[in-house]
Chains A and B, each alone.
Chain A
Amino acid sequence: MSIQSTLRYTCILVFSFLLFGAINAKAQVAAIDTMPKVPADSAVIDTPKAPKIELGSHQLTIGIDILRPVINAYSTDKYGYEFAADYYLKNELYLAAEGGWGTSTVTYADLKYNTSNYFFRAGFNKYLFPRQDAKDWGGLFMGLRLATAGIDRSAATYTVIDSLWGNNTGSLAGKSFNAYWMELTAGVRVELYKGLMAGWNIRGKFLLNGKSFNDLSPLYVAGYGRGDKTSAFDFNFYLSYAVRWKRHKWHNGLMAQLPYQTPVVGL
């Protein structure tokens, strides 16, 4: 097994671990919440739930994938850049959008062409644990995206190499087309310092219109990966800055004033 295959399966393993662990944790927390509480004197306790308090209000985060420039520096045939933004709705749910662009160059002996593309993703992230206080904006999350890319491929030249009958060289006209894919993502984000946030995520990507690539699939699609694969795995490391506004100043005060919810004993 090649090292690349090992890395791929390691990514799958990590992703599966996070997915399974998160679901399992969520399920157990839910099970504990629904468990009836029986006191020592066997009386039935009616515990009114405290109203859920929405911590904080609005947060818009804009970031850049700082891993891409590192990869670009080591790569000779492709580059890409990626930006991300998300907006906090409520209940640990965020709207998320990402975009970017990139190019690739194929200069094989029997195949030569260039591609360039932009891409855009939209979806949501769901943080798996409730926020602990109004300043807690970090956490472990999972998300779903729908993505599209507009790809321009230059004219391609090819050579069919045949040592018996002789080589056959030809060319293909340039072409523009779109790619669509779906992504599952999971990751971590923490606040480093007053609005400055850092986090990474891993992504499983599934191409929805792979048949449109049959004539000449692009070597690299920025935002997706290898164009000749119907699934891909990727990861990002975002450095972001969060803008917050309309935070309710009275919130922390309200938290302190809430009375302790004394259980009501009934028959």
Chain B
Amino acid sequence: MINQIIQYLFRTPASLYRSGLRLLGILLIGSVFMACTQERQPCLTPKIASLNLRFVHFAADSAIALNSFSDTGLPKAIFTAVTDSGNRSVIYTSPSAYFTISLSPVADSCKWLVLADSASLLTAASFDTMSFYYKRKLQFLSNACGYTDFYAIDSVHTTKNHVDSVIITNTSVTNDVNTKHLKIYMHPGF
């Protein structure tokens, strides 16, 4: 059947020409449309590398039980970025053990202040200061998205008001939102 259609469409020069012109018309319309739509393609991938945090606490308040921990839901956490233009905070209104922050693309280190529960702001609560040290790597995403910075974490220092310790589980910080980078152990009674 298909070969008969092909033979019918293209066997003689006249029908070949007519059939060719019909298909060409379709292609011409498409070409003019495509030529008129030269605006930038939409960026469909995350443009900012995300540092993904997981908060946990020991099942027992003992450093021996390193493999015995569970997620710690921070009730209403506050994350404050210490930037050159001042402090800028994100306040979470529901409990969670998983958070995402970003690293500074203009320096090789940055600081975040972390408070587990914004309700304790009225009391004598104190933030923990987490300092991140890393190497930056310029990364081309696409012409639609441009450039961004990926990071390789060297170390993380923290005060120990409510944070017990920090373990780096993955040093490579990219725009992959599913990779967890830090496991942050909290004191049981924060």
Residues of chain A touching chain B, judged by Cβ–Cβ distance below 8 Å, are: 3-4, 7, 10-11, 14, 20-22, 24-25, 27-29, 67, 70-71, 74-78, 106, 108, 110-111, 128-129, 136, 138-140, 158-162, 164-168, 170, 188, 190-191, 199-200, 202, 214-217, 219, 226-228, 235, 237
Contact = CB atoms under 8 A, between A and B. Distances in A.
Nearest to B84: A166
Interface string B98-117: 00001111110010000000
A160 B6 contact: no
Interface string B1-30: 011011100110100110110011011101
B104 to A, nearest CB: 4
Given A25-B3, A166-B84, 14 more contacts: A4-B34, A21-B2, A21-B6, A27-B3, A129-B11, A138-B17, A140-B6, A160-B138, A160-B147, A161-B47, A188-B10, A216-B140, A217-B142, A219-B143
A136 B13 contact: yes
B67 interface: no
Interface of B: 2-3, 5-7, 10-11, 13, 16-17, 19-20, 23-24, 26-28, 30-38, 40, 47-48, 81, 83-85, 88, 102-107, 110, 138, 140, 142-143, 146-149
Q: For the complex of A and B, list the 7 residue pairs with the smallest distance between their C-beta atoms, beginning with the closest.
A: A25-B3, A74-B35, A188-B20, A165-B104, A21-B6, A158-B147, A110-B146
A266 B17 CA distance: 45
Contacts of A168: 105-106, 149
B27 to A, nearest CB: 5
B16 A7 contact: no
B152 to A, nearest CB: 17
A37 to B, nearest CB: 21
Contacts of B10: 128-129, 139-140, 188
A237 B40 CA distance: 26
Contacts of A108: 40, 143, 146
A67 B16 contact: no
22 contacts: A7-B34, A11-B30, A21-B5, A71-B35, A74-B36, A78-B38, A111-B143, A128-B10, A138-B16, A161-B47, A162-B104, A162-B105, A165-B81, A165-B83, A165-B102, A166-B106, A188-B10, A188-B23, A200-B24, A200-B27, A202-B27, A237-B27
A165 B11 CA distance: 67
Contacts of A162: 48, 102, 104-106
Contacts of B26: 10
Contacts of A11: 30
B106 A190 contact: no
A226 B143 CA distance: 10
A46 B4 CA distance: 29
A77 B107 CA distance: 35
Contacts of A202: 27
Contact of A160 (B38, B84, B105, B143): B105
Contacts of B40: 108
A77 B41 CA distance: 13
Contact of A106 (B102, B104, B143): B143
A213 B42 CA distance: 20
A10 B33 CA distance: 14
Contacts of A74: 32, 35-36
A243 to B, nearest CB: 20
Contacts of B102: 162, 164-165
Nearest to A106: B143
A72 to B, nearest CB: 8
A20 B2 contact: yes
Contacts of B7: 25
Nearest to A78: B38
